[in-house]
Amino acid sequence: MKAAEIRSKTADQLNDELGALKKEQFNLRFQKATGQLEKTARVKQVRKDIARIKTIAAEKSAGKKA
């Protein structure tokens, strides 16, 4: 997911997307533990997407307070 896509979303959409990514991250960790994970690169990608969303959400909330 690109940063430009994330910036165009509202705070509610960001929270929904963050929740979905955290669920996916949990499922990926579970698959890894049971030996069923096929796309190992997806773990890193999901982790970075979560970080991007959190960063942009923090920027937006800081912009509203200022």
Amino acid present at 10: T
Instruction: Write down the pLDDT at residue 52.
Output: 97
- pLDDT band of residue 56 (cuts 50, 70, 90) is very high
Instruction: Write down the pLDDT at residue 66.
Output: 61
C-alpha 49/C-alpha 59 separation (Å) is 15
Q: Give the CATH class of 3-64.
A: mainly alpha
The three-state secondary structure class of 26 is helix
Instruction: Write down the pLDDT at residue 64.
Output: 80
Residue 37 has pLDDT above 80, yes or no: yes
The number of residues making up the chain comes to: 66
Average confidence (pLDDT) over 8-20: 95
